[in-house]
Amino acid sequence: PVATTLHWHGVRVPNAADGVAGVTQDAVAPGATFTYEFVAIDAGTYWYHAHQDTAAQIAAGLFGALVVEPPGGHVAEQVDQVALLHSDVTGSAAIAVDGTTHTLHVPARPGQAVRLRIIDAVVPGMDGTAEAPALLGAPYRVVALDGHDLSGPQPLGPHRLVLGMGQRVDLVFSMPAAGSVRLVDSRVMGTPSALQGFFATPARADETVTIGDGPPPAALDPTTLPVFDPLAYGAAAPDPTTARPPDVSFPVVLAERPGFRDGSIQLVHTINGAASPDVPPLVVRPGQLVGLRMVNDSGEFHPMHLHGHVMTVLSVDGRAPRGSPVHQDTVLLSPHQTVDVAFVADNPGIWMLHCHVPLHAAMGMSMTIDYAGITSPFTMGSRSGNIPE
Ligand code: C2O
Ligand code: CU
Residues 74-120 pLDDT 10s: 999 999 999 999 987 766 667 788 887 667 999 999 999 999 999 99
Q: Which residue has the higher pLDDT, 296 or 102?
A: 296
What is this structure's pTM?
Answer: 0.95
Residue 307 CA to ligand 1 centre (angstroms): 7
Query: Which ligand neighbours the alpha carbon of 330 most closely?
Result: 1
Q: How far is CA 194 from the centre of its chain?
A: 27
Q: Is 230 helix (H, G, I), strand (E, B) or coil?
A: helix
Question: What atom in ligand 1 is closest to the CA of residue 352?
Answer: 2
Residue 113 CA to ligand 2 centre (angstroms): 36
* Lowest-pLDDT choice from 124-128, 151-155, 180-184, 371-375: 124-128
- pLDDT band per the 50, 70, 90 thresholds, residue 264: confident
Q: Is 255 helix (H, G, I), strand (E, B) or coil?
A: strand
Query: Which ligand neighbours the alpha carbon of 121 most closely?
Result: 1
Residue 253 CA to ligand 1 centre (angstroms): 19
Query: Which ligand neighbours the alpha carbon of 302 most closely?
Result: 2
Residue 356 CA to ligand 1 centre (angstroms): 6
Q: Which of 165, 361, 367 is nearest to 269 (CA)?
A: 361
First-last CA distance in the chain:
18
* Residue 65 confidence (pLDDT) above 60: yes
Q: Is 33 helix (H, G, I), strand (E, B) or coil?
A: coil
- pLDDT band per the 50, 70, 90 thresholds, residue 206: low
